[in-house]
Amino acid sequence: MGIDLTDVNKVYQSGEVEVHALKNASLHIADKSVVVILGPSGSGKSTLLNVIGGIDRYESGTIKVEGQTLHELKDKMLTEYRRHTLGFIFQQYNLIPTLTVYENVEVGRHLSENPLNMQDTLEKVGMWDKKDKFPFQLSGGEQQRVAIARALVKNPKILMCDEPTGALDEETGKKILTLLKYVNETYGTTVCIITHNHGIGEMAHSVIRMKSGEIVENYQNETPVHPE
Ligand code: ADP
Ligand code: ADP
């Protein structure tokens, strides 16, 4: 089923000024794919993820995810959708500082009706050994791994990643992107990633390029590279 956008428009009212953040965006994202979203700052990348993610409402057009038409969902159902169908990862890891790694990931598990196993999830992201540490005892890359585990343990269909490598050095960022590709291959999770890290393009099934609120390119990569 995947994700389908048809002529989606999103306008932000900024004082007197209207910002047309998405202009007639149409797009199909296949199930179990890795999608990379590129484009300059202010081009609408976060807005695209936020309308698909049910964080922002849109003015016109249609978004269908897994058979659900998002603008037809009442707030309560939209919250359920965000909780169960999706996982979110941001540039800031947003871990709870007073909870251990294990407890932070448990927060995700409690949101889910059919969570993954805690130990297995923490092992998959390489953080089982550090399950009793607190966020301040971890590097940025490790904190992002925990944030990925917290999203992943919910067993979501789709992971929405808004600049997950934005606060990391190049090499650590690459490792995080490789982990996201591994999650996609292991669990069949659809992974949508906003990034400035160009190397990721070759691992992705499709690369979307945005400019001034428009999708100006949607490149299908028939032979995505498998990271080592
Ligand atoms: P990107 O993620 O590519 O940097 P965004 O989707 O964040 O772009 O922003 C697209 C446009 O919408 C920009 O012009 C931005 O200033 C504007 N915008 C985003 N969020 C808001 C908001 N909450 N209120 C007003 N304008 C916004
Ligand atoms: P089970 O479902 O078999 O009870 P749990 O997921 O509760 O398994 O625990 C699996 C392992 O996770 C335990 O052996 C323990 O080492 C560890 N564990 C459980 N709870 C915590 C916690 N709050 N903090 C750290 N480690 C924990």
> Scanning the structure block, which residue is given the tokens 């925990």?
146
Instruction: State the CB neighbour count (10 A cutoff) for residue 95.
Output: 22
**Distance between CA atoms of residues 158 and 212, nearest Å:** 26
**Distance between CA atoms of residues 188 and 190, nearest Å:** 6
Tens of pLDDT, residue by residue over 47-99, are 999 999 999 999 999 999 999 999 999 999 999 999 999 999 999 999 999 99
- For the residues of the chain, what is the DSSP string, one character each? --EEEEEEEEEEEETTEEEEEEEEEEEEE-TT-EEEEE--TTSSHHHHHHHHTTSS--SEEEEEETTEEGGGS-HHHHHHHHHHTEEEEESS----TTS-HHHHHHHHHHH-SSPPPHHHHHHHTT-GGGTT--GGGS-HHHHHHHHHHHHHTT--SEEEEESTTTTS-HHHHHHHHHHHHHHHHHH--EEEEE-S-GGGGGG-SEEEEEETTEEEEEEE-SSPPPP-
Q: Parallel, antiparallel, or unpaired: how do β-strands 17-29 and 158-162 relate?
A: unpaired
Tens of pLDDT, residue by residue over 115-147, are 999 999 999 999 999 999 999 999 999 999 999
Name the residue of 46, 210, 215 whose CB sits within 8 Å of the most ligand 1 atoms, as the mutation to test its pocket. Answer: 46
Name the residue of 47, 48, 49, 193 whose CB sits within 8 Å of the most ligand 1 atoms, as the mutation to test its pocket. Answer: 47
Q: What is the pLDDT of residue 225?
A: 84
Measured from the alpha carbon of residue 123, the closest ligand is 2
Q: What percent of the chain has pLDDT over 90?
A: 92
Q: Is residue 42 within 8 Å of residue 19, measured between CB atoms?
A: no
- Cross-strand partners of 29: 3
Sheet holding 214-220, edge to edge: 86-90, 158-162, 190-194, 34-38, 206-211, 214-220
Q: Is residue 184 within 8 Å of residue 32, measured between CB atoms?
A: yes
Q: Is residue 68 within 8 Å of residue 41, measured between CB atoms?
A: no
Residues 6 or more apart whose CB falls under 8 angstroms from that of 175 comprise 141
Q: What is the pLDDT of residue 228?
A: 65
Instruction: State the CB neighbour count (10 A cutoff) for residue 202.
Output: 13
- Ligand 2 neighbourhood includes 99 CB (under 6 angstroms): no
- Ligand 2 neighbourhood includes 119 CB (under 6 angstroms): yes
ipTM: 0.79
Specify the pTM: 0.93
30 alpha carbon – ligand 2 mean position (Å): 36
Q: What is the pLDDT of residue 146?
A: 98
